[in-house]
Structures are given as structure tokens and as C-alpha cells.
Structure 1
Amino acid sequence: MLAMIPFPDISPEIFSIEIGNFTFALRWYALAYIAGFLAAWAIVVALMKRPVLWGREAAPMAPGMVEGLLTWVIIGVILGGRLGFVLFYQPGYYLRNPVEILFIWQGGMAFHGGLAGAALAGWLFARRHSVAPMRLADAMAVSVPVGLFLGRIANFINAELWGRPTTMPWGVIFPGPAAQSCPWGWEGPCARHPTQLYEAGLEGLVLGLVLAWLVWRRGALKLPGLTLGVFLAGYGLSRFVVEFWREADAQFITPDNPLGHVIRLGDLGLSMGQLLSLPMILLGLGLILWARRGAPAGPPRAG
């Protein structure tokens, strides 16, 4: 008998309150967003309070300005994440049902869209307040992995975005007919790769520790663009790798395309997540090379 891990008995809702015919529920996914934004705010404030971490020992803006930045970024993440999901993953459905684009409480957010929205919001904020955009982007990049970690844990609790069927002993038996719809001939419960946890570990924990080490030990913020480049390349590579075990979205899977590739090269191909991650990897590597060209002779001084 194959070893499998039963899905833990965790409700997606932390608690719910009924007031008349209205039910208010606080979900782990919403809490992950809230905690992620608060953590990002605290990290960026801490960076702005440490001028020694920055080039010329001067932070790009005052710590008190971070609260205003957070407001812009929240709006950018929500709008970008929703529009990214609509355009990248289900354009046909929302073209037929445009009103439902506004129904964000039904779920459907894309990280790549949210990142683009946050980047645009940060750039607009920097222009309006005369802040160096690249230095601000570096600070924002340091703060993102915490939210990624919490968000992927929430995805696991929601039993969504699971991976492909597996016989590995750490395979998880996710609930629901979709998760239990395995290839013909599969015996017993269908276990799947817990790709949410793979991503939490790579995109959140590992990438976060690497960025923290670069900033606090290697003086990475003294080279504008380096921290942002490492984040983009690190996230893109992590997502690209995990996609080999992550189940494609249902709309991309067909009988002749069971792996849901959006670009097919014979038996090989790329998923939508991999296709969107490739530009991040290339841009990240380009930023790293560009930033290193401005590096001083010898290793940068740690803060």
C-alpha cells in the first residue's frame, strides 16, 4: 500500500458571524493578504530607518512615507492580480461575463498580474514624491517573500492550486472531485504533489532568506537594481521549476493536452506559469548584471 498524507482537517474560514441574513467570514486567505501587507510595511520601514544599508548612507525616503506607499501598492496588487487572472487564465469566460470581473470575493488572482500592478503603483508613487524608483523597487522586493509564503500556505489550507498525481510518500490526498480525478487505472485515493508548500518554501522562505542575507550582510541595497534583480530571477526560477509538478488550470487541459501546456513542442511544452516566469528570469538576470557594473572595487560593505 502506498504511503499518503491525508489532508489536514483545517477549515478555510477562521470564524464566521451571522447577522440576520448576512454571514461575515474571516478566511485564512484574506488574513494572509492582510498579514503580508503589514509585514511588507514593517520591513520597508525598517529599511528606511537604516541609512547605513543604502548607498551614500542615505535612505531613498523617510520612514513615514511608507504608509502612503502601502495604500498605493494594495490598490495595485488587487487590480493587477484580478486583471492578470482575467487576461492570462480565463479571458473567454470573462469576455462573456464582464460583470463578474468585479466579483473578487469569488477568487481568481494572478501573482504575475499583482506584481505588475504593484510595480506600476510603486513607480507612480516614486514619481509623485520624487523618490528614486529603482531604490524604492529594491526595498519593495525585500518585503514580498513574506506575503508569498503566507499566501501559499493559505492556498494549501484552501485545498487549491495542488499538483499532479504522485506516488511519492509526501503526496497529499486533497479533498474534492477535481483533486480526486486521477488518471485511469489509479487505485485508491489520489495523492498529489503539495505544490503550494513547494512554492512557500522556495518563493517565500528560501528567497526571503537570500534577500535578507544580501541586504543585511552583503550591502546589496548599495547597488540599485541588484536586490530587485535577485528577487525577479529567484521568483521566476522557483515558479518555473515548481510548474513541472503543479497541475495546470482546468481550462488549459484537454484530452490531447493532458499537461495543460500553452506552448507545445512535441511531448514537451510550457505552462502558462512558466511562460509568464521566463521574462521575469531574463529581466532579473539583466538587472543583476546591470547593477554589478556599478559595483565598487572590492566587496560592498555590509550594513
Structure 2
Amino acid sequence: MTTLATMAATSASAATTLAAIPSPTISKFEVGPFTIHFYAITMLLGIVACVWILTTRWKRLGGNFDQIIDTTLVAVPCGIIGARLYHVVTTPERFFGPNGDFVEIFRIWNGGLGIWGAILFGALGAWAWCRHKHYPMALLGDAIAPGLLVAQAIGRLGNWFNQELYGKPTTLPWGLQLNQQGSAIGSTESCYDGATCPTGTLFQPTFLYEMIWNLIGAALLIWIGHKTQKTLKAGSLFTMYIMWYTAGRTWIEMLRIDFSHEILGLRVNVWVSILVFILGVIAFIVLQRVGQTTQSCEAQLREQTARELEMQHMQKESQN
């Protein structure tokens, strides 16, 4: 607390000479009877970008757009449900108990989606559909990995509009300046720990750090994929995505000051990041020993795509 207060005071005195990142004054707008939240818009833009990247890569591997749309219609709802469930499980006091509001569970536009739940439930939904349609799941994982990082980078803009999940007070020239006016969430939560932050305090822009980290990771995955397509087993890029994201999330999470349950002095999401990183390393090693080659998965996908196109052609002929 003393350190935080000292940093805040130092930040306040230097704020007038720093080039800060401004925060939006609004997080939503009205269109007739409808309320449009920027948080939802960034989520939708992220999904669109991810689907576009996935489709482009999937077609090169022998698939088509219809396969991606069908898989997306299964995976996205599963991912959203999983993301919300993770948030509810890790912060139950917000929704249950004397100070909780059960209805808040369904108001996802107010923030509160856990990426771990989104990946787990989304992957399970995609796996079930791929198994049903005989698509190689490992190949899908490699195709979507860069798109997931791009989608997550875009989604972090929603936190900027909501003015939430920022980090500790800072004197860095790119510190985040909060807006004490308007409808953004952060306008009433300038210091999550209850401390009084002097006017002008700047905060670590953790949303920006994660955006940059994710975009760099997406570029690296694409580059690695081009260089190692014939050597790495199918699914390897997805495990690299897991390792890259969790490595970044670990240090970024430790900068944040929003409320979080702690275990042995570390935030829950830090422990989850470390655990998932280790699982990603294990999965990568196992894949190199027992996984299918990318070439064999491509051949499987091309055969299945050809069968589907043939069945569609036969159905059209039977209808004529």
C-alpha cells in the first residue's frame, strides 16, 4: 500500500509533463431503442478477423469457407459461454451472496470474460464438430492460432473503452490517463484497491501491452509455420500459441491492480497462466513424438472436402 501510494503521488506530480494515453469518455452509445457497447463491438471485430485469417489459412490446407462457418457457429457460442463461466467461477462474490447480483451473470457487456474458459469451451466445441465432420482438429488448431492472437489483441480495446483492467500507477510517458467523467466503468474505479489516487495519476496500459504482445506472437507463428511446415507435427503451432500467450499473460497479469483472488501471494490468473504454459510445453513434446504430420492431415482434409463437394453435387442433381 505504501509503495502504491508513493508511486501514485510521484505519478501525479509528473503527470503534467508526460504524454499520456487518454481514455475514452464513453463505453456505449444509443441507436434508437438499442444500446451498443464498444466492448461487444471489439469482440465481434475480433471474431471476424479471426474467421478471416482462419479461412485464408484453411483454404491453403485444402478446406473451404463453408467448413469454417459451420465450425465457427459451434465454437463461438461455446467459447462465450466458457469465458463467462470462468469469470463467474473465479469471482463468485460478484454474482452470489449478500452483495452479489445473479442477473449480472447474463450482462456480459459490463465486462467479465475469461480467456481460459473461452479457449477451453471453444476448443471442445470445435473438436466435437471436427470429429463429427472428420476434419483434422490438429490442422484446425494450427490454422486458427495466429487468428486467435489477433482476435485477442482487438478484444483488448474493449477494456480500453470500458476503462478497466489497467495496471499499477506509473511515471512512464505512455501511462494511461483515466477519465473521471462519462459512462466508462473506470470513471468510478480509479483505484481498485481502495486507495486514493491523486488527480492526474497515470496507470500501466496493460491492454496495450497485451495487444502488442499478441500481434507480435501472431506474426511469429505465421513465420514459424512457413519455415517449419515440413518438420513440425500438426498441432504444434497451436501449442506454441498457448506458450506465447501464457508467457505474456503471466507478466502482464502481475502488473494489474483490479481485484483478484490470490494463492500464495500470486493472482489466480498468474497461476493459471503458469500451469497452462507447462501443459503447452508438454503437449508440444508429445506431438513431436506421436502426432500426425501436417502433410498427412492436409491429405485427410482434401479428401474430406472432395467427398463433401461430391455429396453436395449429388444432392443438387437429385433435386433437379
> Is TM > 0.5 for Structure 1 vs Structure 2?
yes
In 2, Cα distance between equivalents of 1:184 and 1:77: 35
- For the pair 1:80 / 2:82, whether they are aligned, the reply is yes
In 1, Cα distance between equivalents of 2:193 and 2:94: 25
TM-fit CA distance, 1:191: 1.2
TM-fit CA distance, 1:213: 0.9
Contact persistence 2:27–2:161 (CA under 8 A):
yes
Partner amino acid, structure 1, of 2:143: A
Q: 131, 142, 161: which one pairs with 1:127? A: 131
Equivalent positions of 1:1-303 (< 5 A) are 1-2=13-14, 3-4=17-18, 5=20, 7-9=22-24, 11-13=26-28, 15-18=29-32, 22=33, 24-51=34-61, 59=62, 61-88=63-90, 90-96=91-97, 97-175=101-179, 176-180=187-191, 187-202=198-213, 204-219=214-229, 223-249=233-259, 252=260, 262-264=262-264, 269-293=265-289
Contact persistence 2:37–2:109 (CA under 8 A):
no
Deviations 1:212-244 (A, max 9, x none): 112234327952121011000111110001112
SS in 1 for 2:31: strand
TM-fit CA distance, 1:81: 0.9
Stretches of structure 2 that go unaligned for 5 or more consecutive residues are 1-12, 180-186, 293-320
**TM-score normalized by structure 1?**
0.79
SS in 1 for 2:36: strand
Deviations 1:66-104 (A, max 9, x none): 11011011111111111111011x223423444442333
Partner amino acid, structure 2, of 1:67: I
In 1, Cα distance between equivalents of 2:134 and 2:269: 35
SS in 1 for 2:287: helix
Deviations 1:126-166 (A, max 9, x none): 11111222222222223201111111122112211111112
**TM-score normalized by structure 2?**
0.75
Distance 1:184 1:128, change over 3 A: closer
| Higher-helix-fraction structure | 2
Contact persistence 2:232–2:288 (CA under 8 A):
no
In 2, Cα distance between equivalents of 1:237 and 1:117: 21
Stretches of structure 1 that go unaligned for 5 or more consecutive residues are 52-58, 253-260, 297-303
Partner amino acid, structure 2, of 1:150: I
Partner amino acid, structure 1, of 2:84: R
Distance 1:220 1:213, change over 3 A: farther
Contact persistence 2:168–2:204 (CA under 8 A):
yes
Contact persistence 1:165–1:191 (CA under 8 A):
yes
Moved more, 120-129 or 211-220: 211-220
TM-fit CA distance, 1:47: 1.5
In 1, Cα distance between equivalents of 2:151 and 2:251: 20
Contact persistence 1:174–1:180 (CA under 8 A):
no
Instruction: Give the structure 2 partner of residue 256 of structure 1.
Output: none
CA RMSD of the aligned region, Å? 2.6
In 2, Cα distance between equivalents of 1:189 and 1:183: 17
Contact persistence 1:220–1:226 (CA under 8 A):
no
Moved more, 119-128 or 181-190: 181-190
SS in 2 for 1:95: coil
Contact persistence 2:87–2:114 (CA under 8 A):
yes
In 2, Cα distance between equivalents of 1:107 and 1:292: 39
- With a CA cutoff of 8 Å and minimum separation of 6, indicate the structure with the bigger relative contact order: 2
Computing the radius of gyration from Cα coordinates, the structure with the larger value is 2
Deviations 1:20-42 (A, max 9, x none): xx3x1333222211121112222
SS in 2 for 1:139: helix
TM-fit CA distance, 1:8: 4.0
Contact persistence 1:180–1:190 (CA under 8 A):
no
TM-fit CA distance, 1:275: 1.5
Contact persistence 1:155–1:196 (CA under 8 A):
yes
TM-fit CA distance, 1:11: 3.0
